[in-house]
Chain A
């Protein structure tokens, strides 16, 4: 006896399985958002589901960065800056490429270079790392960052504010922009709202359960069919 036939690739069971995979990859994005809730300058990932996601499975889900501006919170630290407009600070990575970040918690190292929290140099508008030529002793009184990103340091000998360069702000494409508003003494909270994340996760769970139920039903049907058809008497 020759048994002909094949398992149809995009049958119900596979689709239910892919549905479950998709739900989990969406859940992954919500988890990311919740985990990074406390990180200044974090921008939430929004799951966008493309057409034919039922065939594509998790590949049909795209994390889209939500560029809404988070709430600005006063930290009172002189080297904390927040952007109240869209745009990014630029960090110079050790291998020479530039990364964008909205996390404006900076520090000065002993040589006067402005660095991000993880120690990467911050770029100025001229494309070179920001370098203080004078070391301020009292950051609170002697350093002023104006809304256009210009960093000024008070020099005691001359009694004047001297510019140390301008923070380089880039837009999403990485090209410099001058339409900025920089707030010194502030940090930007992540634009994540916990209640929204949980609200989005509730239907996700139901979807996952329905996909699972469908899979179980189809699996039962299939096994019954195999048993019934296989019976010879």
Chain B
């Protein structure tokens, strides 16, 4: 019976550490473009044991003006598809773009945006429209000319997308297939900030602290009783 209590208290302390992990990751990524808040939710399963799941808050973060023509922010719930060096497709909301040596638009991590949008060497201004059309102007006097289109996609259950690092996500069985998203729009010259609410994180830490301290006290308490009962001849 004592070891049962000990096990429960130790397990719970471990669970609280899991929550602390997710808070630490959130606070560390407060300034990461397009970062989504993670949280570790605990629940009781049917036999009274504690269980935990990792959840992600997929709501869009606020868009921040950068005035950089290579920055695009997604307004809405859509994702930008990128082609990785091995040819597979991943999705991101981090729209801080740049150009590689062949003139293709790439993400910070070097993945080609969309199916490949190649900028000519002699362009003057780059314009990315809200509907995803990419246009360039070769000189002051010439007209804008369309060189490609960025199609946004969305998922039935974006929470189940799996993160593969570098701000990239891949589709899984739980997320459903990517479908074209006509509702989201692109905003050139803006980047999406992380959707981390610092106050909420701090509030969670306070609750966590109370729970953790209580657990450690329980362990101490039970340990005392354990010692006393194994020492009945005194």
Contact = CB atoms under 8 A, between A and B. Distances in A.
Interface of A: 20-21, 23-25, 27-28, 31-32, 34-39, 42, 77, 93, 99, 103, 105, 107-112, 116-118, 135, 137-138, 140, 194, 197-198, 201, 205, 208-209, 212, 215-216, 219
A216 B234 contact: yes
Q: How large is the interface on B (under 10, 10 to 19, 20 to 34, 35 or more residues)?
A: 35 or more
B44 A42 contact: yes
Interface string B33-77: 000000001111110101101010101000000000000000011
B232 interface: yes
A77 B57 contact: yes
Contacts of B208: 38
Interface string B192-209: 000000000000000110
Contacts of B233: 216, 219
A104 to B, nearest CB: 11
A20 B226 CA distance: 11
Interface string B1-45: 110110011011000100100000000000000000000011111
Interface in B138-186: 154-157, 159-160, 174-176, 181, 183
B36 to A, nearest CB: 13
B149 to A, nearest CB: 21
Given A28-B4, A93-B46, A110 B225 contact: no
Given A109-B174, A140-B59, A205-B225, A28 B43 contact: no
A38 B174 contact: no
Interface of B: 1-2, 4-5, 8-9, 11-12, 16, 19, 41-46, 48, 50-51, 53, 55, 57, 59, 76-77, 154-157, 159-160, 174-176, 181, 183, 207-208, 210-211, 214-215, 217-218, 221-222, 224-225, 228-229, 232-234
Given A24-B1, A35-B9, A118-B43, A110 B160 contact: yes
B45 A118 contact: yes
A201 B5 contact: no
Most B CB within 10 A of own CB, among A105, A110, A197, A219: A110
B155 A208 contact: no
25 contacts: A20-B229, A21-B1, A24-B5, A27-B222, A28-B4, A34-B9, A35-B215, A36-B44, A36-B50, A38-B16, A38-B208, A42-B44, A107-B159, A110-B156, A110-B175, A117-B41, A118-B45, A118-B53, A137-B181, A138-B77, A140-B59, A197-B214, A205-B224, A209-B228, A212-B229
B225 A208 contact: yes
A99 B2 contact: no
A103 B229 contact: no
Contacts of B77: 137-138
Contacts of B76: 137-138
